Amino acid sequence: MRKGAFGIAFAYLLISLLWIMFSDRLLFYFEGILSPNQYLWLSLGKGCLFVVVTAIALYALIRSEDQRLKQSEKQYRSMYESNPNPMWIYEPGTLRFISVNDAAIAVYGYSAEEFRQRTILDIRPLEDRENVISSSERVNSKLNDSGTWRHIKKDGQLVYVNITSHKIWFNKKPHIMVMIRDMTERVAFERALEKVNQELLEEKHKLSETQLLSRVAGWEFYPRENKLIWSDEVYRIAGLKRDGREAFDIYVQHIFPEDRPLMINALHDLISTGKQLDITHRITALDGTTRYIRQLARVESSGEQELKIAGSLQDITELKLLEMERNRYQYSFEHTLNSITDCFFELDHQMKITRINDIFREMVKTDRSRIIGASVFEFFPKAENKFYHVYQKALEERIIVRHEDYSVVLQRWLRMAAYPTDEGVAVYFADITEDRLKDERLKEAVERYELVAQATRDVVYDLNIVENKLVYNTSLTHLVQIPLDEISYELEWWRSLIHPDDMEEVVSSQEKISRAGLTNWECEYRLNCGKGEYKYVMDQGYFIYNEQKQPIRLIGAVRDIDALKRSTQENKRLARIIKQVNNMVLITDDLRRVQWVNNAFVELTGYAMEEVVNKMPGDFLTDPDDPVIQTLIRKQQAREAFGIDTIIYTKNRTPVWVSAQLTPAYDEDNAFQGYIIVCQDITYRKEKEEEINRQNRLLREVAWISSHEIRRPVATMLGLVNLLDMTEDESERKEIFSKLRECAAEMDSMVHEIHRRIEAEKVMQIARDL
C-alpha cells in the first residue's frame, strides 16, 4: 500500500511539473498573436485540460492499485481458508473465536458457528487455561512460537499441537491469528523414545547389578604403558581401594607370592603367543581376607595398533571354599546331597556320571551301580537333551551356568544349575513344572485382561490423594450422561454421584484398606449416571504409598455392572423358585445336552450337577433300547412342546415313573436354545394303577374259577344227588357216595387254590410296600 501511494504521488508530481514547464512555454508563444480575451480563454482551457488529464491519470493509477490490493487480499484470504493446517482469528481481550478456516472445522469437529460461540479456553484442559491467558497477553506483531500445547476436540479427544501466532488488523481492530500443527504423533514418539532411553538406563543398571551379583567384572591392560584399567565392579569384587593407581605392578602386589609367577607367565604367553589366559589365583583384600580370583583374558589388538588385552575376572572364593569343604567333609556332603530336594549328578570331562544323589536315582529308576561310570547320554540322549550346552559351557568356560527349559525325556520343566569343579561339572536341577504352569496361566490371564480392557468401556481413573486431583479416561462420558462442562475433577464431585445409602460403605472400605497398608480395593455401589438414574458399578482400585506408608494415589477402573447385577438378582430369584419346587427341572442346550438341574432332580436321581452337565439325559436316565427314546428325539428335533410318561433310572438304577413336560426355549432373537424339561414323580400313581390291574386280573381269575371250574364239580354233585334219589341199589348208592366225595374233594381243592392266590397277592403287596 505504501509503494502504491508513493507511485501515485510521484506520477502526479511528474505530470504536474511537465505540464507547468511545457504548457506555460506554449502559452507565451501565443501571447502576441491572440487577443487578451482569446488569451484568457486559452489560459482557462489549459487549466481545465490539466485537471482532466491529471484526473484521468489519477483514476487509472488508483484503479490499478485497487485491483492489485483486491487481488492480494483475495490471495491472502485463499491462503487462510485453504491452508491445510487449522487456523483461526480471535479477540485478545475476550479470547472469542472470530474466524476459523476449513481445516480447523474438519480437525476439531466444530462448525464455524459453534466456534464463534466459544473461546480459545473452551478447547483447552482446565489446568492449562491460566497459562493460555498469560501466553495470549505476550503475543505481539512478530511471529510468536508458543510451543506445544494440549487441545480438546469436540469428541473429547486430547491432542498435542504446536501454536504459531501473531497480531493482525482484522475488521479495523487488533486481533490475533493462530496457526496449528498437530504434534500428537511426535509427542507420542518423543515419549516412547524417552521411555526407551529410560529402559536402556535401567538395563545398564541391571547389567551392573548382574555383574556384581554374578561377581564378574572386566578390565583392560596396555602392556606398553603398564596401564591397567578396571571397571567399578573389579574394586568391589577384589576388595581393593580406588586410589587412582591402577598399574599392573600394584595389582600383582596383592596376589599371593606363590601365585604371582603363574599370573605373570600366563600373561607373558598371552602377549607373545596369543594363548588365551585362563588361570585362578589368590589375592589379599584390604580387609585381610583371602579371595580366589579366576582370570580370563585375550588379545584384542596388536600389530600396528597399540597392544590391548581385554580380560574379565570372577570371584570364585565361594566355589573354592565349597570345594575345600567338600574335600574336608566328604561324608557329610554325600548325606547332604541325599537330603536336598533337588536332583544332583556330577560329570567328569568325558561326560560320564561320577556322583549322584538318591533323588536322581529315583528319577531315572536305575540302580546306582549302573549309573556311576555311565555316560549321561545313556539316560538323556544328546539329540533330545536341551541341557547339553549347560554342561558343556560350565565344563569348558569354568563358570557357573543356570538354565531353565523343558525336558523331553522327563516330560517336565527343569531349572538347572551347573557348577564347574576340578573333576568336571556338578549339576543341580529341580522340577519347576508347576511354577511354569502357574506363570503361563498368569501370562495368559494378563493378556486376556489387556484385551478385555481394550474391548470394554471401563472408566479408568487416577486419583492424586495428596492434591485431590482426579483424572478420568474418555469412557467417563459413556457411563455418566453429564455434560462435559459440568464434570469436575475432584474426589468430592465423584462421591456426590454415589448413592447416599452406599456412601458409608465406599468410604469405610477405602479407609480400611489404606489403614492396613494394602493395595487392592474393590467395592460395588450405585452411581448417579445422570437424570437421577442410578446404576450398579464395580469399582476396583490399587493404592500406591510413599516411603512413610501413606497413600498418595489410587488408580482404578469403574465398570458398569447394572444389567449384570439386576439380571443376577432376577436369576437368583428365579433360581430360588426353581430350586424350591418339588418337581424335577432340567435345562438342555440345542444339542440336547444338560446344562442345569435343580435340587429336586439331585435328591431324586442321586446325580450331582457336575456329573450330568454336557451329557444327554438319555445316556444316563433311560434304557438305551427303550423305543420311547427315539420318539423323544424326533419330537425334540422338530422342536415341539409335548408331554410323556416314561421310566427313568436313578444313579443306583432304581426305576422311577415320571410325567415329563418338554417345552422348547428361545432367546430374544427367536433362536432355539434348547428344552426346559419338568418331570413329576408319578411312581406311586403307577404302582397303584398296577396294583389295581393285578387285583382286577385276580378277580377275573377267581371269577373264572368260580364260574367255570367250581361249576363243573357242583353240576356233577347235583347229578349224583338226583341219581341217589332215583336208585335203591345199595352198591350203586355206595358208588354214588364215592363219586360225591371225589367231587367234594375237587371242589375243596379249588376253594383252597382261590384262597392261596388271594393270600399270595397279599404277601406280594406287603413285599412291594416294604
Express each pLDDT in 45-93 by its tens digit. 777 777 777 777 777 777 766 666 666 555 556 667 777 889 888 888 8
> In angstroms, rounded to a whole number, what is the distance separating the alpha carbons of residues 120 and 104?
12
Count the Cβ atoms, other than its own, within 10 Å of residue 709.
17
296 contacts 313 by C-beta, under 8 angstroms: yes
96 vs 113, 116, 617, CA distance in Å? 12, 7, 74
Q: What is the mean pLDDT of the chain?
A: 79
Question: Are 327 and 321 a contacting pair, CB within 8 Å?
Answer: no
Using alpha carbons, list the distances in angstroms from residue 506 to 482, 522, 537, 541.
22, 9, 12, 12
Q: 52 is written with which cell numbers? A: 482532466
Q: Band of the pLDDT at 5, cuts 50, 70, 90?
A: low
Find, among 286, 295, 299, the residue nearest to 314 by Cα: 295
Q: What is the CA radius of gyration of the chain?
A: 54
Between helices 711-726 and 730-769, what is the axis angle to 10°? 160
Residue 572 pLDDT level (bands cut at 50, 70, 90) = low
> What ranges make up the beta strands (E) of 290-391?
290-301, 308-315, 343-348, 353-356
User: What percent of the chain shows pLDDT beyond 70?
Assistant: 81
pLDDT of amino acid 659: 87
Q: In which band, very low, low, confident or very high, does the pLDDT at 1 lie, cut at 50, 70 and 90?
A: very low
SS3 state at 411:
coil
Question: Nearest-5° angle of CA 669, CA 672, CA 674?
Answer: 135
Instruction: Give 363-391 pLDDT, tens digit per residue.
Output: 888 888 888 888 888 888 877 677 878 88
What is the C-alpha separation between 366 and 354, in angstroms, rounded? 15
Bridge partners, 662 (sequence order)? 642, 677
- What's the rounded Cα separation, in Å, for the pair 210 and 419? 18
Q: Kindly state the average pLDDT of the residues 4-11.
A: 66
Indicate whether 246 pLDDT > 60. Answer: no
Q: Do 244 and 250 touch, CB atoms closer than 8 A?
A: no
Q: What is the pLDDT of residue 501?
A: 92
686-713 mean pLDDT: 69
Report the percent of the chain where pLDDT is more than 90: 5
Query: Minimum mean pLDDT among 4-18, 272-286, 340-354, 713-727: which range?
Result: 4-18
pLDDT at 721 over 60: yes
Banded model confidence at residue 579, pLDDT cuts 50, 70, 90 = low
How far is 296 from 397, CA to CA, in rounded Å?
9
First to last CA, the chain: 123
Number of helical H runs and strand E runs in the chain: 26, 25
Residue 425 · residue 419 · CB < 8 Å? yes
Q: Comparing 124-138, 537-551, 596-610, 715-729, which segment has the lowest mean pLDDT?
A: 715-729
Q: Within 10 A of 693 (CB to CB), how many other CB atoms are there? A: 10
Cβ-count burial of 735 within 10 angstroms (0-12 exposed, 13-18 middle, 19+ buried)? middle
| Amino acid 347: pLDDT | 87
The three cell numbers of residue 584 are 424335577
Residues 6 or more apart whose Cβ sits within 8 Å of residue 755 = none
Residue 710 or residue 196, greater confidence: 196
Q: So what's the pLDDT on residue 298?
A: 85
The pLDDT value recorded for residue 503 is 92
Residue 766 contacts by C-beta under 8 Å, 6 or more apart in sequence? none
Hey, how many other C-beta atoms are within 10 angstroms of the C-beta on 345? 25
* 3 state SS for 698-728: HHHHHHHHHHHHCHHHHHHHHHHHHHHHHCC
pLDDT above 70 for 327: no
Biggest alpha carbon–alpha carbon distance for the chain: 218
Per-residue pLDDT, 521: 92
Which pLDDT does position 2 carry in this prediction?
46
Name the band, by pLDDT with cuts 50, 70 and 90, for residue 551: very high
- Give mean pLDDT, residues 299-325: 75
504 — pLDDT class (breaks 50, 70, 90): very high
* Average pLDDT rounded to a whole number, residues 292-310: 77
Q: Is 451 a residue whose pLDDT tops 50?
A: yes
Return the higher-pLDDT residue of 439 and 259: 259
Residue type present at position 120: I
For residue 638, the model assigns a pLDDT of: 82
Residue 324 in grid coordinates:
575345600
Cβ within 8 Å of residue 415, ≥6 positions away: 402, 403, 404, 429, 430, 432
- pLDDT score of 440: 78
| 226: pLDDT strictly greater than 60 | yes
3-state SS track over 472-488: ECCCHHHHCCCCHHHCC
In the block, residue with C-alpha cell 598371552: 270
Please, which residues have CB within 8 angstroms of residue 499's CB and are 6 or more apart in sequence?
A: 525, 526, 527, 528, 534
Instruction: Answer whether 475's CB lies under 8 Å from 453's CB.
Output: no
Confidence of residue 523 (pLDDT cuts 50, 70, 90): very high
Helix (H, G, I), strand (E, B) or coil at 101: coil
Residue 672 CA to its chain's centroid (Å): 33
**Residue 677: closest CA among 733, 617, 613:** 617
Q: What is the 3-state secondary structure (H, E, C) of 596-640?
A: EECHHHHHHHCCCHHHHCCCCHHHHCCCCCCHHHHHHHHHHHCCC
For the chain, the residue count is 770
pLDDT digits (tens, 9 = 90+) for 9-50: 776 677 777 776 666 666 666 666 767 777 677 777 777 777
Instruction: Give the β-pairing of 290-301 and 277-284.
Output: antiparallel
Cα atoms in the 13 Å half-sphere on the side-chain side of 680: 9
What does the alpha-carbon distance between residue 76 and residue 63 come to, in Å, rounded to a whole number?
A: 20
What 3-state DSSP class applies to 420? strand
What per-residue confidence (pLDDT) applies to 342? 80
Q: Of 87, 108, 93, 103, whose CA–CA distance to 151 is shortest? A: 108
The band of 690, judged by pLDDT with boundaries at 50, 70 and 90, is confident
pLDDT confidence band for 543 (50 / 70 / 90): very high
Three cell numbers at 250? Answer: 600394584
In the chain, the amino acid numbered 432 is I
What is the model's pLDDT at position 499? 92
Tell me phi and psi for residue 681, to 5 degrees. -75, 115
Indicate if the alpha-carbon torsion angle 165, 167, 170, 175 is positive or negative.
Answer: positive
Q: Mean pLDDT throughout 508-525?
A: 91
Residue 485: what are its φ and ψ, rounded to 5°? Answer: -75, -10
Mean pLDDT throughout 611-640?
A: 81
Q: CA-to-CA distance for 14 and 20, rounded, in angstroms?
A: 10
Q: What is the pLDDT of residues 628-674, one digit of tens each?
A: 777 777 888 888 888 888 888 888 888 888 888 888 888 877 888 88
- Report how far residue 162's alpha carbon sits from residue 122's, in angstroms, rounded to the nearest whole number: 17
Instruction: Evaluate if residue 264 carries a pLDDT over 50.
Output: yes
CB 346 within 8 A of CB 352: no
Q: Can you read off the three cell numbers belonging to residue 330?
A: 566328604
**627 vs 562: which has the higher pLDDT:** 562
- Model confidence at 431: pLDDT above 80: yes
C-beta of residue 220 within 8 angstroms of C-beta of residue 229? yes
pLDDT in tens, 148-193: 889 999 898 988 988 888 888 787 788 888 888 888 888 888 888 8
